[in-house]
Amino acid sequence: MTKIFENIDMCDPKTHDDPWEMLEYFRENEPLYWDPHNEVWYVFRYDDIVAISRDSETFTSTEGNRPNLPPDPSMIHKDGEEHRKQRGIVAQGFSPKYIREQEPRIREWTIEFIESKLPSGRMEIVSDLAARLPMRIIGTMLGVPVEKHDLVLSWIDRFLQGGMGPQYVTEEINEAYGEFCMHHEEMLELAAQNPDGDDLLNRWLRAEFEGEKLDEDQLLFEHTLLNVGGAETTRSAIAGGLEELARHPDQYELLYQNLDNREFVENACEEIIRWVTPFHNMFRTATRDVEMHGKVIKEGQMVGLQYPAANRDPRHFKDPYKFDITRKFDTKHISFGYGAHFCLGASLARMELRVALEEFLSRVKKLELDPNDPPRWVSSSFVRGPAYLPVIVEAR
C-alpha cells in the first residue's frame, strides 16, 4: 500500500533528510503540490521543471528565489535583457580559457590534500578533501588569503544549513552574513591596492558588458553567490560520489580501470552529479494564472522546482534509483539547472570533480565506509550532500 504524504512543509529541513519516498509519491501521484505552510507550489517531474525553466515570461525569477523572502540583486533574480547583461559581466571571470588554466593547480592541491591523510589509513572526506578543495579554488580565484579559507567556509555552512523562508532566518545566519559582508569590504580594499590583479574580484571590477558594469550591491551578491554555489556544489558531488563508490566497490574498481579514458570518467562524473543533486530546488513566480495537472497556479504565486525528484524521473532515466557510472544519458540531468539560468560555474565544478576522482582513485586502492562511525548528511531544505564522511583507505 502506497504511503500518502500530505500537509508537508517543504521548507523544513527534516522533510529532506530522507526524501526519496516522499519525492516519488509526489512525482507520480501529485505532481503539482501546494505547500500550505509556506504558500508555495512545487513541481517534481522533469518535463514540468524544464518547461517552467524555459518560460521566463510566465515563470519569472525576478520575485525571489526563496519563499516569502525578497530578491537580492544577483543575476539569479533577473530575467531577459537584465539577466543577459549582468550574466555577461559575471561570465567574464569564467572564460573557458581561464577555467582551463586552473586545472594544473587544482590537481596539485588535490594531490596535496589526499597524500597528507593517506598514510594514516583514515580520512574524513568532507573536511579533508571535498570541502577543502573547492574552497581553496574559489578562495584563490578571489584572492582570499589561505589562512581565511576555513573562516569563509564556516560562514557558507551557516548560510546553507537549516530551512528556507523567513521563519528559518536565525540570528546565527544573520551574524554569519554580517561577517561575510565585512570580509567582502576587506577584499575590495585589497583589490584596490592591486587594480590590475588577475583575481576574480578585480576582473569583475574592471568588466563591462554593453557599456554596463556591476554596481556595489550586485558585486556583493555575486561574490556571495560564487562562494555559496562554487564551494557547495563540488563539495557535495565529491563527497557524495565517493560515498556511493564506497558502497559499490565493483564500480570503484571499474572506474579505476578506466581512469585513462576521459570520456568514461566524465560520464561517471555526470552520474555522480545526477545521483547527488547538490541543490534541492530553485524557485520561480507565476506572472499569470497557469493551469497544470488539473490545478491553477495563480498569478503571483511561487513555484519550487524539485531537482532531485526530476533527476530520478523514470520517464527520462532508466532504473533511476540505481547508481551506475556506465549510464547512457539519453536525457541530461538538471543538477545545474536548465535554460538561461544554467549554472555559470558548471564547467569548473565538473573539472574539480573529475580531477578529484582521478587523483583519489589513482592513489587509493581500497575505500570503505567506517562501520563504527556512520556518515551524516547536511540537514537542509536547500542543499544536499554529506556533512561528515569518515572512511578507511588503503594506498596503492
Q: How confident is the model at residue 2 (pLDDT cuts 50, 70, 90)?
A: low
> What's the rounded Cα separation, in Å, for the pair 219 and 201?
8
Average pLDDT, the chain: 93
Q: What's 279's DSSP letter?
A: B
> What's the rounded Cα separation, in Å, for the pair 309 and 321?
11
Which residue has 577555467 as its cell numbers?
Answer: 99
In a domain, 353, yes or no: yes
In a domain, 106, yes or no: yes
In a domain, 7, yes or no: no
In a domain, 224, yes or no: yes
Number of compact structural domains in the chain = 1
> What's the rounded Cα separation, in Å, for the pair 329 and 35?
32
> What's the rounded Cα separation, in Å, for the pair 187 and 194?
11
In a domain, 373, yes or no: no
The string of DSSP codes covering 81-134 is HHHHHHHHHHGGGG-HHHHHHTHHHHHHHHHHHHHHHGGGTEEEHIIIIITHHH
- Nearest residue to 348 (alpha-carbon basis) of 89, 93, 100: 100
Which domain, by its residues, includes 229?
13-367
Question: Has residue 1 got a pLDDT over 60?
Answer: no
The per-residue pLDDT for range 149-166, each reduced to its tens digit, is 999 999 888 877 767 777
Question: Has residue 122 got a pLDDT over 90?
Answer: yes
Give, to the nearest 10 degrees, the angle between helix 171-193 and helix 149-160.
140
The per-residue pLDDT for range 87-114, each reduced to its tens digit, is 999 998 888 888 899 999 999 999 999 9
Tell me the backbone φ, ψ of residue 59, rounded to 5 degrees: -125, 95
The per-residue pLDDT for range 210-244, each reduced to its tens digit, is 999 999 999 999 999 888 888 888 999 999 999 99
- Nearest residue to 33 (alpha-carbon basis) of 8, 1, 67, 60: 8
Strands 122-124 and 281-286 come out as unpaired
> What's the rounded Cα separation, in Å, for the pair 311 and 271?
10
Question: Has residue 4 got a pLDDT over 80?
Answer: no
Instruction: Measure Cα distances from 389 to 68, 369, 377 in Å.
Output: 34, 8, 8
Question: Has residue 246 got a pLDDT over 70?
Answer: yes
pLDDT the model gives residue 197: 87
Q: How confident is the model at residue 172 (pLDDT cuts 50, 70, 90)?
A: confident
What the block records as the C-alpha cell of 72 is 537580492
Give, to the nearest 10 degrees, the angle between helix 132-142 and helix 346-363.
130
Give, to the nearest 10 degrees, the angle between helix 216-247 and helix 171-193.
110
What percent of the chain has pLDDT above 70?
A: 99
Report the CATH number at residue 245. Answer: 1.10.630.10
Q: What's at 241, amino acid-wise?
A: G
The per-residue pLDDT for range 174-213, each reduced to its tens digit, is 888 899 999 999 999 988 898 888 888 999 999 888 999 9
Q: How confident is the model at residue 65 (pLDDT cuts 50, 70, 90)?
A: confident
Q: Buried b / exposed e across 297-315, counting CB within 10 Å, b at 16+?
A: beeebbbbbbbbbbbbbee
Question: Has residue 85 got a pLDDT over 60?
Answer: yes
Mean pLDDT (whole number) for 361-373? 97
Give, to the nearest 10 degrees, the angle between helix 249-257 and helix 346-363.
100
Query: Bigger pLDDT: 317 or 380?
Result: 317
Instruction: Measure Cα distances from 330 to 32, 267, 306, 318, 340 in Å.
Output: 25, 12, 20, 9, 21
Q: What is the pTM of this model?
A: 0.95
In a domain, 194, yes or no: yes
Question: Has residue 273 got a pLDDT over 90?
Answer: yes
Taking phi first (over 0 means left), then psi (-120 to 50 degrees means alpha), and beta for anything else, what does residue 316 get?
Answer: alpha
Instruction: Measure Cα distances from 371 to 236, 242, 392 in Å.
Output: 21, 16, 9
Sheet arrangement for strand 40-43 = 32-35, 40-43, 302-306, 281-286, 59-60
Mean pLDDT (whole number) for 13-27? 94
In a domain, 383, yes or no: no
Which residue has 529541513 as its cell numbers?
Answer: 13
pLDDT the model gives residue 375: 97
pLDDT the model gives residue 267: 98
> What's the rounded Cα separation, in Å, for the pair 390 and 392?
7
In a domain, 393, yes or no: no
> What's the rounded Cα separation, in Å, for the pair 153 and 156?
5
pLDDT the model gives residue 72: 87
